């Protein structure tokens, strides 16, 4: 099967919570500009739209919206991000740059700007 992703995945493990009828927990295994994979035993349906947040640090998280693209029952599911704001995209790029820098310490990381992610108090 041919790879359909437009953006390369980067291994990043973050705590994630999303809302369906209840708040649900999971862990990301990888993230790209276009989406992420979430490990969770909670069942979701392909096409379901989720509002979720990544926990970046204690007390700090960033919100996203995404559509479930595929499901591995009892393992996890893939999500495609929807309607990314400039701040959300910048946050994703900073996460990806940081993960890549950890894999390759000589890689240059783009500097942060004054506008940060939408923070949500935990």
What values do phi and psi take at 26, rounded to 5? Answer: -170, -175
Domain 10-103 adopts which CATH fold?
Answer: Thrombin, subunit H (2.40.10)
Residue 121 confidence (pLDDT) above 80? no
Residue 69 confidence (pLDDT) above 90? yes
In the chain, where the domains are located: 10-103
Paired residues of 62 in beta bridges: 54, 119
Among 121, 97, 94, 95, residue whose Cα is nearest residue 108: 97
- pLDDT digit string, tens, across residues 10-51: 888 889 988 855 678 899 999 988 899 999 988 889 999 999
- pLDDT digit string, tens, across residues 83-120: 999 988 888 888 888 888 776 544 443 443 444 444 34
Going by pLDDT thresholds of 50, 70 and 90, the confidence category of residue 3 is: low
| Whole-number pLDDT of residue 119 | 39
- What is the value of pTM for the model shown? 0.76
| Whole-number pLDDT of residue 4 | 61
Chain centre distance of CA 121: 18
Given a contact cutoff of 8 angstroms between Cβ atoms, the answer to whether 52 and 62 are in contact is no
């Amino acid at each position: 099967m041919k790879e359909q992703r437009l953006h390369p995945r980067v291994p990043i493990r973050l705590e994630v919570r999303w809302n369906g009828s209840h708040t649900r927990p999971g862990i990301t295994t990888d993230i790209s500009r276009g989406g992420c994979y979430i490990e969770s035993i909670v069942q979701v349906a392909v096409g379901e739209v989720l509002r979720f947040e990544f926990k970046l640090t204690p007390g700090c998280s960033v919100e996203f919206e995404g559509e479930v693209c595929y499901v591995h029952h009892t393992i996890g599911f893939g999500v495609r991000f929807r309607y990314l704001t400039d701040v959300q995209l910048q946050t994703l790029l900073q996460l990806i740059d940081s993960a890549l820098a950890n894999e390759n310490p000589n890689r240059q990381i783009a500097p942060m700007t004054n506008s940060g992610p939408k923070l949500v108090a935990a």
